[in-house]
Amino acid sequence: MTTHAIPDEASFDGEWWLPSVSDAKHKIAGTLAWSKNKATLALHDSFAPLRSGPLVQSSQTHPVIHGLTTNGSAVSVLEALSTGGTMAFGGAAFRRSESFVSSLVIVGAHVDSQTRFLRLRARIPGLPTWLGESGVQQIITSPTPEHSDTVIDYRIGRNPVQGVEVPNIHATLGWGVGWATSGSVLTTVTIASFGYLEITPDQPQALDWYFEQLGKATTLLAFLAGAPMKADEVSVKVAEAQPEISVLVGWNNPGYCPYSNPHQFFVPRWAMDVPLDAVFRKWFDQYASVAMPSQLALSVLSSDGPWIHVQFLLLMQALEGFHRAVADGTYMRPADYETVRHALTTAIPAAVESSHRDALKSRIKYGNELSLRKRLDDLAGRLDASLRTRIFGGNGAVPQKWIATRNYYTHWDEASRDDALDIPDMYYASVRLRHFLRVLYLDFVGIPQPAIVKALDGYNSESQHLIQLNHPAATFGYVNVRPADNAKSESEKSKDEGPLPQTWHVQCKGSE
């Protein structure tokens, strides 16, 4: 069965019909084109019956459209939205056409939204490197008396799937590495390894269920890797006796891992210092509590497009969302605050007009919620001193200017204007905020904090940027850091105020 990669363009010519219409003459010739995360089906006729009167643009959605291509492949277009049609009047005949768009296409079988699948396999760029595994082995045999030449053997094959049982979803996550070849054995052969995640539930499930679990897994992978970890190829299996069928799906915020070197990852698998199964079980067990804030966090961490003001505010919002999800966000017990709320509401003077009164009551209602300052300090308290020093610089505390900047741009509070960061400092703060957010999620899933410290001192580009902020006197290049007893010079102090309580020796490699 031919597989289809999601980023690649594909075209399918054939006949198309609605499964609910059994009449063979309702099969219509047309072309399905997959491009840029979306499928467009252009028919030479229309499923809609011809009516008198003006041509009306339709927005009808068909749950599924089935097709049979000219090369004999079965295709299913799910949730196909009509984009309208056109009419053509010619000397020979009257023709009418209709078009549809969809973000979900199955190639290899006729299915619908009720179809249940045994398992899903997703190929994820960068996964073999993150796992530290390969589907290719190189064996070099030195010359012997019988063979005077050095012999190099390459052995390829799928590594055994490593299963992680996840009781929370009654399924097993399988990690594996495979290979693909191209070229000619007589001239040049290219062997490419690829990594995949396989999801096998105890009972067959619908596609939406698989996409939900895949999204959870790739979100955690992205936090660990420091890069998007979307699948670029997806296949499913309906029955063991049948071949896998290909799935083309339009991802939200599509992005694929660009890394090919283990040192480019923030925390590769071998550096986690905790078993892979323990981390993923904990993530799936607790995911419901952070489902929404984790998606905001992932979006802002994976994006390099927003203006610095927008990025700064989104990072602050993502941190507040994380705290609301995992911690108690009130000053006092809600039952105790009810007495305070009632007293404050009752004390509003009768002369206050109704809309102003409602605004004050709303503020009093939420008056028991922690301030952003308290929330960030509480989150920082989850991290040991070594992490706080690296992330925040200075004395290892959340800088007050971060709060003032957020308050100014959120509430346009003139009292905070003079304390707000300028654009360069807001950029430096955003670098630190990105690390703060990522580290909190890694700590949340059980990555030991000493392992996170090593990641912050690593060769990946995010950590290198942070190291250069903490050591501005260092020459540009890859920087190694290690603890030191001597005090840091004034030129090496962090950009933030105050001396660093812990200092490091700095050694640059490849400096210019």
User: Is residue 126 in some structural domain?
Assistant: yes
Split into its structural domains, the chain has a count of 3
- 236 forms beta bridges with 120, 245
Asked whether residue 124 falls in the same domain as residue 235, the answer is: yes
Same domain, 259 and 408: no
pLDDT score at 20: 80
- Are residues 228 and 320 located together in one domain of the fold? no
Residue 298: half-sphere exposure toward Cβ, Cα within 13 Å? 25
Residue 271 falls inside a structural domain: no
Dihedral of alpha carbons 413, 418, 423, 424, sign: negative
Tokens of 343: 């007293």
Which helix (H) or strand (E) covers residue 214, if one does?
A: helix 207-225
What is the C-alpha to C-alpha distance for residues 114 and 91, in angstroms, rounded to an integer?
45
Of the two residues 272 and 497, the one the predictor is more confident about is 272
- On whether residue 363 sits in a domain, the answer given is no
435 plus 495 within the same structural domain: yes
Q: Which one has a higher pLDDT value, 451 or 418?
A: 451
Q: 102 and 144 share a domain? A: no
Give a yes or no: residue 193 inside a domain: yes
For residue 259, what are the domain limits? 119-265
The mean-pLDDT minimum among 116-125, 142-151, 291-300 falls in: 142-151
216 and 294 housed in the same domain: no
The packing angle between helices 423-444 and 400-411, to 10°, is: 110
Residue 334 maps to a domain: no
Q: What pLDDT does 127 receive?
A: 93
State residue 94's pLDDT score. Answer: 61
In terms of domains, do 103 and 123 share one?
Answer: no
For 82, which DSSP code? E
Q: Determine which of 23-27, 207-211, 471-475, 485-489 has the lowest per-residue pLDDT on average.
A: 485-489
Q: Output the average pLDDT for the chain.
A: 85
Which pLDDT value is given to residue 197? 95
| pLDDT confidence of residue 179 | 73
The residue with tokens 């986690």 is 272
Q: What is the mean pLDDT of residues 466-495?
A: 59
Give the model's pLDDT for residue 159: 61
Does residue 295 sit in the same domain as residue 322?
yes
Give the tens place of pLDDT for each residue, 368-427: 888 999 999 999 999 999 999 999 998 999 999 999 999 999 888 788 888 999 999 999
Helix, strand, or coil (residue 172): strand
pLDDT at 511 over 80: no
374 and 496 part of one domain = yes
Mean pLDDT of 419-437: 95
Percent of the chain with pLDDT over 90: 58
Structure-block tokens of residue 241: 């006796």
Q: Is 339 domain-assigned?
A: no
Rounded to whole angstroms, the Cα distance separating 206 from 372 reads: 41
What residues form DSSP beta bridges with 67? Answer: 16, 75
Amino acid 3: pLDDT:
82
Q: Is residue 338 part of a domain?
A: no
The predicted structure's pLDDT at residue 303: 80
Query: Is residue 484 classed as helix, strand or coil in its secondary structure?
Result: strand
More confidently predicted of 511 and 294: 294
Quote the pLDDT of residue 413: 79
Whether 95 and 129 share a structural domain: no
Tell me the angle at which helices 423-444 and 449-456 cross, rounded to the nearest 10 degrees: 150
Check residue 500 and give its pLDDT.
38
Give the model's pLDDT for residue 485: 47
291 token code pair: 């489902």
- Flag whether pLDDT at 482 surpasses 60: no
Amino acid in the structure at residue 423? I
**Nearest C-alpha neighbor of 374 from the set 434, 337, 323, 413:** 323
Is residue 109 a contact partner of residue 246, using CB atoms and an 8 Å limit? Answer: no
Average the pLDDT over 232-237 and give the result: 95
Q: Are residues 185 and 146 in the same domain?
A: yes
Which candidate, 39, 106, 65, 36, places its Cα nearest to that of 247?
A: 106
- Same domain? For 51 and 19 the reply is yes
Residue 317: its H or E element: helix 308-326
Q: What is the pLDDT of residue 481?
A: 54
321 in any annotated domain: yes
* Ramachandran bin of 250, using left for φ above 0, alpha for ψ from -120 to 50, beta for the remaining angles: beta
> Of 107, 130, 154, at which residue does a domain stop?
107
